[in-house]
């Protein structure tokens, strides 16, 4: 059975009485080069354990199982479990975990499933959970690399540079903790059913050391989030209305100026170093 052949897929789904769920964002691959290239990009080998989220019917899982020491795949849709039992039967190094990945302790799961192996994460993520899943994978702090296929728009946002239209708070979050790289794009016709958007494969490699020393990580990300809360406003105005700081507008103006910035600049122009300097000055001036 070819898990990327549309005829084989329809026959498989028909045997199991499967129906696509729009709410779960299910789009199955029908081009074999895609899961092969994603698995290659993951860097998985026999010394690695790979966490996959949302295996679907298993085309990427199979490619990972052929490369990695172990694969643990978390699947939310219970109707896919008997299908995965069939498609993954030849692979004794794969464990299917029924459940919601967003409710699991991913670091604990990786430690349990991959003793003695290098943990990686690799997945074709449903569009509707892309941001929270990537956030959870980064915050787990245990994966040597995170390789995922996501909506192209989100991939561009993650990799965006300051000053670009795609740049935002999530760009800064991902770039502070990882080094992201957009690898290749996947057109809609590679899926069944075909989505309305282009996908892209991205790899995020966690940084060994932060790119910038921070006075307080929590405050840094509060400032970042506030700066992008109202993109059309100047930095001073959006911080004044969104930050929730004990500083009044004059105090925020002073902090911005002491950080070497103009109060009229917009947050989208600032990089990690500028936000770090600003957060430090806000901390210094807060009563």
User: CATH number of the domain that 17 lies in?
Assistant: 3.40.50.150
Whether 230 and 175 map to the same domain: the answer is no
Q: Is the pLDDT of residue 37 over 80?
A: yes
> Which of 185, 206, 227 is a domain's end point?
206
Q: Which of 141-145, 160-164, 213-217, 238-242 has the lowest mean pLDDT?
A: 213-217
pLDDT tens-place string over residues 257-269: 999 999 999 999 9
For residue 1, is it within any domain?
Answer: no
What's residue 25's pLDDT?
Answer: 72
**Of 206, 230, 252, which residue constitutes the final position of a domain?**
206
Residues 66 and 161 in one domain: yes
Pairing of strands 178-186, 118-124: unpaired
Structural domain of 49: 6-206
In a domain, 257, yes or no: yes
Residues 28 and 115 in one domain: yes
Percent of the chain with pLDDT strictly greater than 90 = 88
Q: Quick one: pLDDT at residue 21?
A: 75
Instruction: State yes or no: pLDDT of 244 exceeds 90.
Output: no
Any domain includes 16: yes
121 in the same domain as 86: yes
Q: What is the pLDDT of residue 26?
A: 82
Both 131 and 236 in one domain: the answer is no
Same domain, 105 and 242: no
Q: Is residue 92 part of a domain?
A: yes
CATH number of residue 236's parent domain: 1.10.8.100
pLDDT at residue 20, as a whole number = 79
Class of residue 100 by CB neighbours under 10 A (exposed 0-12, middle 13-18, buried 19+): exposed
188 and 135 in a common domain: yes
Q: Which of 206, 228, 254 marks a domain boundary?
A: 206
At 45, list the tokens: 């080998």
Alpha carbon distance 100, 75 (integer Å) = 7
What is the C-alpha to C-alpha distance for residues 15 and 172, in angstroms, rounded to an integer?
Answer: 46
Whether the Cβ atoms of residue 68 and residue 49 lie closer than 8 Å to each other = yes
Least confident of 100-104, 122-126, 229-233: 229-233
Residue 201 sits in the same domain as residue 222:
no
Q: Are 119 and 169 members of one domain?
A: yes
Number of domains into which the chain is organized: 2
281 within domain boundaries: yes
């Amino acid at each position: 059975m070819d898990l990327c052949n549309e005829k084989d897929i329809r026959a498989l789904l028909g045997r199991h009485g499967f129906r696509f769920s729009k709410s779960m964002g299910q789009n199955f691959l029908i081009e074999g080069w895609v899961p092969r290239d994603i698995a290659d990009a993951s860097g998985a080998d026999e010394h690695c354990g790979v966490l996959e989220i949302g295996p679907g019917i298993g085309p990427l899982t199979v490619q990972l199982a052929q490369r990695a020491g172990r694969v643990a795949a978390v699947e939310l849709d219970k109707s896919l479990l008997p299908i995965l039992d069939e498609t993954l039967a030849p692979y004794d190094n794969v464990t299917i975990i029924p459940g919601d990945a967003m409710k699991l302790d991913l670091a604990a799961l990786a430690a349990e499933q991959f003793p003695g192996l290098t943990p990686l994460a690799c997945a074709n993520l449903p569009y509707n959970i892309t941001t929270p899943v990537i956030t959870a994978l980064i915050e787990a702090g245990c994966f040597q690399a995170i390789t995922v296929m996501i909506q192209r728009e989100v991939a561009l946002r993650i990799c965006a540079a300051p000053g670009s239209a795609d740049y935002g708070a999530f760009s800064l979050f991902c770039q502070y903790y990882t080094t992201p790289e957009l690898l290749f794009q996947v057109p809609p016709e590679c899926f069944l059913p075909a989505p309305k958007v282009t996908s892209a494969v991205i790899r995020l490699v966690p940084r060994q050391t932060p790119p910038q020393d921070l006075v307080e990580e929590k405050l840094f990300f509060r400032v970042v989030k506030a700066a992008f809360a109202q993109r059309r406003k100047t930095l001073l105005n959006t911080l004044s209305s969104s930050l929730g700081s004990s500083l009044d507008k004059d105090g925020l103006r002073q902090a911005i100026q002491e950080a070497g910035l103009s109060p009229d600049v917009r947050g989208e122009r600032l990089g990690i170093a500028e936000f770090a300097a600003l957060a430090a000055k806000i901390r210094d001036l807060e009563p």
